[in-house]
Structure 1
Amino acid sequence: MLVHGIPTSPGLWRHVAPLVPGRCYAWEMRGYGHSIPEGQSADIGLSAQADYLLAWLRSREFTQPPVLVGHDLGGGVAQIAAVRDPGAFSALVLTNAVCYDSWPIPRVKAMRALAPALAHLPDVLLYPSFVQLLRQGHDSRERALESIGEHWAPYVAHGAAPALMRQVSALRTEDTTAIADRLPDLGLPAAVVWGDADRFQKADYGERLAADLGTRFNRIRDGRHFTPEDHPEEIAAAIRSVLP
């Protein structure tokens, strides 16, 4: 069960899923990707997203609990969901995930503060900032260009500025700080893999997560933030390492 972050969509996992045995589900957070319209009248914060994910899982029949994998905001959702119902998952994999008080990053805090005004920006004015953000988060220029096209498309289709401002306005640090003290008692097999040159989610936080989850810290040397796109082999290897 693969969960993306911001400003991405399930396509984030397009290079990881083919490298993992069995069936992969790339879950789309409400108010993101093609479900952006649903975010207009719903809580799209991380705590609510975790409840949506758990409800979706309960509506399906799995032969065994899935491995839960999260990146960025999706990593925060994964932590919350696992704490609320650890029996729903067989293992937890986190990569460059928000956690503790590591987020929102300063740029996103600034956007959140200006959200009422920025929501009216035309797409052509928002696009350069979107491009810059994704480029800074990739260590592969080729994958950065590919990623921009992959993740900008849903925003354009549904109104980029208002959609992005709804997303950043819903971010609440307390969603992860509220469950942080329960991570050491989670009891799930876990893997933490991190691009150690990430400018958005620092490697120190990844090391703390690994310690709390009782697992080793897997470092991607010179990797930046969007590890599922730049380093799918390493992410897939981490997932395979905890498969039941």
Structure 2
Amino acid sequence: MSRAGVHLHEELLDGEPIRWLEHGEGPPVVLVHGIPTSPRLWRHVMPLVSGRSLALEMVGYGSSIPDGEGRDLGLAAQADRLLRWLDMVGVESPVLVGHDLGGGVAQIAAVRAPGRFSGIVLTNAVCYDSWPIPSVKAMQRAAPVLRHLPELALYPSFVQLVHRGHDDRARALESIGVHWQHYVTHGAARSLMRQASALDVADTIAVADRLPTLGLPARVVWGDADQFQKVEYGRRLAADLGTTLQTIPGGKHFTPEDHPEVVAAAIDELLARSPGDDHGN
């Protein structure tokens, strides 16, 4: 698959399929999406980045939803896969970028192997005890019942969730079309329940005390009107990572879709740094 220079790659990682999108050339950037999205969350960011962008598809999400059956979809397990995937594809010292759950995965991977990355960019990411959000907690509680619902039963809730996370209505409508197709193709109720049931806030709490000593150049970009991941968490995250929070006034949750130029600019700032630059700002 190729969309305007974005190419889909698929290989086997320890005998199991793993997929990612690639765009461009130059210094590497690894991007990790969240829920309920896929690597295509970054479709407007990747063409703006001055480097080789690799958007990893977390197992159990997007076109990899079927591969999540019977596998650990928690953030710690996803971080472990990310590190093993980097070994497999031979990507060295990328800037690591995460949104939503992908931001939690990025924090865990960076804490586990800080020497593997040249910097970290987080945008409206889960962190500390900021998650799961109430709607996801409700899905976790109702999982035994919801997984048997007809495919379209969850569509109104999906639409409402996506709209609440966007400040650009046109991008919200586009996002619904892009991301819902994977759920309706692979079984929306079962897929969402499997994803939600795997989430455990202990994964980010476990690495929280290591963030202030991470020592990686960092950028934290946040839509300050996000109802899911409050800006106060972004401020705390920026302080722990030794950087200044960059807010997007009126921005909501899905910043890579609504404000790709802001996210790409933050990534490019880290790509432009020389190895001898000081950490943080």
* TM-score (norm. length: structure 1): 0.98
Structure 2 CA distance for aligned equivalents of residues 167 and 65 of structure 1:
29
Question: Which range moved further: 173-182 or 114-123?
Answer: 114-123
The residue number in structure 2 matching 1:218 is 246
More helix by share: 1
Structure 1 CA distance for aligned equivalents of residues 62 and 171 of structure 2:
19
- Give the letter for the 2:60 counterpart: G
1:39 to 68, 91, 96: 68
CA deviation after TM superposition for structure 1 residue 67, in Å: 0.4
Q: What do the CA deviations read for 1:143-195 (whole angstroms, capped 9, x no partner)? A: 00000000001111111110000000000000000000000000000000000
1:70 equivalenced with 2:115 (yes/no): no
Percent identity among equivalent residues?
Answer: 70
1:90 equivalenced with 2:118 (yes/no): yes
The residue number in structure 2 matching 1:195 is 223
2:168 to 137, 140, 150: 140
Structure 1 CA distance for aligned equivalents of residues 102 and 193 of structure 2:
18
The residue number in structure 2 matching 1:177 is 205
CA deviation after TM superposition for structure 1 residue 123, in Å: 1.5
1:230 to 237, 258, 273: 258
Highest RCO, 1 vs 2 (Cα 8 Å, sep ≥ 6)? 1
Structure 2 CA distance for aligned equivalents of residues 68 and 116 of structure 1:
35
1:21 equivalenced with 2:21 (yes/no): no
Matches within 5 A, 1:98-137: 98-137=126-165
Structure 1 CA distance for aligned equivalents of residues 90 and 67 of structure 2:
25
- Give the letter for the 1:43 counterpart: D
Structure 1 CA distance for aligned equivalents of residues 144 and 114 of structure 2:
38
CA deviation after TM superposition for structure 1 residue 87, in Å: 1.0
1:12 equivalenced with 2:41 (yes/no): yes
Structure 2 CA distance for aligned equivalents of residues 240 and 28 of structure 1:
22
The residue number in structure 2 matching 1:80 is 108
Structure 1 CA distance for aligned equivalents of residues 93 and 88 of structure 2:
13
The residue number in structure 1 matching 2:234 is 206
CA deviation after TM superposition for structure 1 residue 58, in Å: 1.0
* TM-score (norm. length: structure 2): 0.86
Matches within 5 A, 1:151-166: 151-166=179-194
Structure 1 CA distance for aligned equivalents of residues 90 and 77 of structure 2:
22
Q: Give unpaired runs (5+ residues) of structure 1.
A: none
Structure 2 CA distance for aligned equivalents of residues 221 and 143 of structure 1:
17
More strand by share: 2
- The alignment yields a C-alpha RMSD, in angstroms, of 0.6
CA deviation after TM superposition for structure 1 residue 107, in Å: 1.2
1:61 equivalenced with 2:87 (yes/no): no
Structure 1 CA distance for aligned equivalents of residues 52 and 268 of structure 2:
12
Q: Give unpaired runs (5+ residues) of structure 2.
A: 1-29, 274-281
CA deviation after TM superposition for structure 1 residue 42, in Å: 0.4
- Give the letter for the 1:240 counterpart: D
Is the partner of 1:44 in helix, strand or coil? coil
